[in-house]
Amino acid sequence: MHPKPFTPKNVLLMPNAAVSKAISLAHELERLLNDQNVFTRWFPYNFEDWERVPDLDGIDMVTVFGGDGTLLRAGHICAPLGIPILGVQAGRLGFLVELSEKDLEAGINRLMNKDYHMESRMMLTAELYSDDQLSRSWDVINEAVICRGKDVHPIQVRVDLREGYMNSYMSDGVIVSTATGSTAYALASGGPVLPPELRNMLILPIAPHLSFDRAVVLAEGAEVDLYPTINHDVVLSIDGMDPVPLKNGDRIHIRANQQSLNMLRFGEPNYFYRDLAAMMQRNPILEMTKYD
């Protein structure tokens, strides 16, 4: 069930602290919101200090200024609390962000009139078991990746479903992705694009060697266990965060998360495919600006 549109009263502004355009757009949005009698609070996000989190007490919406990386970090903070996110483009890549600089004032007018819809995106839970004991757990928005570390050798990963053995991959790594993550690392590795609100998991090998090379889309409710064979450096990375070294006997269990990432959307129902086509026709990462 999707959350219903509402008029926010207390908004956290979360610009990427390293991007001057993000800071200036946050100031502009603060002015627009304050004119509508909306209370605002600031939290410039620093990727070098990712463990520092904002005080979200009383906050009913978070507006993120940057690219998809900044929005992902905000998602990890907001999703467990059920706080929705509005993304404003100030970086290079923007599959997740919603508003551009030219749309800012019109977007806020629509926001205050509840003229938007809430998009609920499936997340995953990834658990690392060492010696059959739960070692660590993560919320996953994009993907969990088991891959080779500093040694340039393929790795072997066995993948089991609840129904039993599925496949073993000899590759540079294995991606387990959400539909949101299908436009991230999985897309770069040749995987299919899934509609953002699809509640399925995608399994995809990275540069497979003499093994099954097709992506597999799992039905909603599937659970996955991954068993890496450790002959050299192998790591686990969640949503591009710092890699965690793995050792023999480790098991990574992945399932649907009870929480979802709620995102504000103003676009028409086919916005995703329209934006995807535009992204593919002009690669924004090649268009460097003075703000990047």
DSSP label at 70? H
Handedness of CA 281, 238, 118, 221 (dihedral sign): positive
How large is the angle between the packed helices 104-112 and 20-35, nearest 10 degrees? 40
* 68 included as an active-site residue: yes
| Phi, psi (degrees; rounded to nearest 5) at 74 | -65, -40
Is the separation of the CB atoms in 15 and 44 below 8 Å?
A: yes
Amino acid at 218: L
Q: Quick count: other Cβ atoms within 10 Å of Cβ 261? A: 26
**Identified catalytic residue from 49, 68, 213, 239:** 68
What per-residue string of b and e applies to 40-64 under the rule 16 or more CB within 10 Å gives b? bbebbbeeeeeeeebebeebbbbbb
DSSP label at 112? H
Q: What is the rounded distance in angstroms from the CA atom of residue 275 to the CA atom of residue 155?
A: 35
What positions carry a catalytic annotation?
Answer: 68
